[in-house]
Amino acid sequence: MLVVQKFGGTSVADPGRIARVAARIKGAVQDGHRVVVVVSAMGDTTDELLALAREVTRNPSPREIDMLMATGEQVSIALLTMALQAKDCDAISLTGAQAGITTDGIHTKGRIVDIDTARLRSELDRGRVVVVAGFQGVTPDGEITTLGRGGSDTTAVALAAALGAEVCEIYTDVDGVYTADPRLVPEARKLDVISHDEMLELASLGAVVLHPRAVELAKLYGVPLVVRSSFNDGPGTLIKEVGDLEKAAVVSGVAHDVNIAKISLFDVEDRPGIASRIFRELARSNINVDMIIQGAMRDGRNDIAFTVSRDDLSRALEAVHRIQGLVGAKGITFNDTLAKVSIVGAGMVSYPGVAATMFEGLAEAGINIAMISTSEIKVSCVISREEIERAVRALHMKFNLGEAPAGGPA
């Protein structure tokens, strides 16, 4: 059978680990599988490249950022392929472009729009392991674009879908998906199974163990997706369609995101068209806006506040300053010392009081809430970044997430 295996940065952080990954891949080949491998850049390479760019200029252009970041994955595909060849395992490395991955033109936030699998299939037919650079693709005009931080997961699922692979395995530095980030919450529990919808929420709300778009594609194309450790043989976590809402946990996990910033516009005019002007201008700059709050109107004026990714803060501020006059805002401020904590659970919708329990949990920990947003399967609160670890732990405890749900598997 055909399998896609993706190895994250920590799993290929040094030559020793690259050799271990190569041995694992060779094992899959010896078991009779055809294997496509996706790798991330080694260790913290992507962060280091970004830091380097910022030493050159405070405001590097997104195109050149992509050009720079894409080199990280090119290093790891070459080294891993050499390690495979050294083990007498026939293999070839391919960049995103060589693997036929076409992306749209949004630099640093590209989306895969098409995969031409001809080259991949011909290499597989020659009995080779194909090692593809994650996180990158090329536009029809030949421009390299990357898929957003953590985007190698998405490359792997997209390849699995395009090739009709039996399974997409995401190998990482934890044993699977946990009820909260195990680095913050030692008592977090590994989940054996999680639904696409819950995983999508967790991933979108900051659980970096999977890239949100990877979960979306797995759901859309019915790709069986597993998160496993690259350091042991544990079964990991299966992400799949779980239909029965009745059985769903009220709260299945806590996610956190320290990469957010809030922008506030004061005293904007209270008339039709104001919000559309503000958010159209942000959309034009390809900035995703998360939470939005419009305060109570007084004297014909409103306050509007919203959150964006911290990476987008300076461009978002430029955008709102451009339209400040048009919307009559008397002031613009920002806060980049915030974080967001969220609870996720498909069963929440049928239990009133879940949000209240969350606010209680934060109150008991003496944590102040700056913004709130809810949906059928999540509640999010913006709080001070300094308090994020305490908040995640307090909520994990409040909802007893360390204990297996009654009747469920341990």
- Residue numbers in the known binding site for ATP are 6-9, 172-173, 178, 183
Instruction: Extract the annotated binding site.
Output: 6-9, 46, 73, 172-173, 178, 183
β-bridge mates for residue 301, sequence order: 269, 298
| Residue 135 or 399 with smaller CB distance to ligand ASP | 135
| Residue 8 or 206 with smaller CB distance to Mg ion | 8
Instruction: Extract the annotated binding site for substrate.
Output: 46, 73
- C-alpha to C-alpha distance for 366 and 387, rounded to whole angstroms: 9
| Residue 93 or 230 with smaller CB distance to Mg ion | 230
- Is residue 338 within 8 A of residue 384, CB to CB? The reply is yes
Task: Give just the sign of the alpha carbon dihedral 79, 81, 83, 86.
Answer: negative
- C-alpha to C-alpha distance for 69 and 6, rounded to whole angstroms: 18
Q: From 150-158, 224-232, 259-267, 302-310, give the range in contact with Mg ion by CB under 5 A.
A: 150-158
Alpha carbon 28 to its chain's center: 27
What are the φ and ψ backbone dihedral angles of 399, each rounded to 5 degrees? Answer: -95, 15
- Is residue 52 within 8 A of residue 80, CB to CB? The reply is no
- C-alpha to C-alpha distance for 21 and 16, rounded to whole angstroms: 9
Residue 248 interacts with which of ligand ASP, Mg ion, ligand ADP, none, CB < 5 to 8 Å by class:
none
Residue 163 interacts with which of Mg ion, ligand ASP, ligand ADP, none, CB < 5 to 8 Å by class:
none
What is the nearest approach in angstroms of ligand ADP to the Cβ of residue 343? 12
- C-alpha to C-alpha distance for 242 and 43, rounded to whole angstroms: 34
Name the site residues for ligand ASP (rule: CB under 6 A).
8-9, 40-41, 46, 72, 134-135, 149-152
Residue 177 interacts with which of Mg ion, ligand ASP, ligand ADP, none, CB < 5 to 8 Å by class:
ligand ADP
Residue from 100, 150, 151, 347 that binds Mg ion (CB under 5 A)? 150
Structure-block tokens of residue 349: 């919708």
What is the nearest approach in angstroms of ligand ADP to the Cβ of residue 129? 19
What residues numbered 44-103 form the site for Mg ion, per CB under 5 A? Answer: none
What is the nearest approach in angstroms of ligand ADP to the Cβ of residue 305? 27
What is the nearest approach in angstroms of ligand ADP to the Cβ of residue 119? 25
**β-bridge pairing 129-133 and 34-39:** parallel
| Residue 184 or 332 with smaller CB distance to ligand ADP | 184
E strand or H helix at 244: none
What is the nearest approach in angstroms of Mg ion to the Cβ of residue 149? 8
- C-alpha to C-alpha distance for 293 and 357, rounded to whole angstroms: 22
| Residue 150 or 212 with smaller CB distance to ligand ADP | 150
| Residue 8 or 100 with smaller CB distance to Mg ion | 8
What is the nearest approach in angstroms of Mg ion to the Cβ of residue 209? 7
Name the site residues for ligand ADP (rule: CB under 6 A).
8-11, 40, 150, 172-174, 177-178, 180-183, 202, 207-209, 253
User: What does the buried/exposed string (b/e) look like for 305-318 if buried means 16 or more CB atoms within 10 Å of the residue's CB?
Assistant: bbbbbbbbbeebbe
Q: What is the dihedral of CA 19, 21, 25, 26, to 10 degrees?
A: 20
- C-alpha to C-alpha distance for 343 and 205, rounded to whole angstroms: 9
User: Site residues (CB under 5 A) for Mg ion?
Assistant: 8, 150
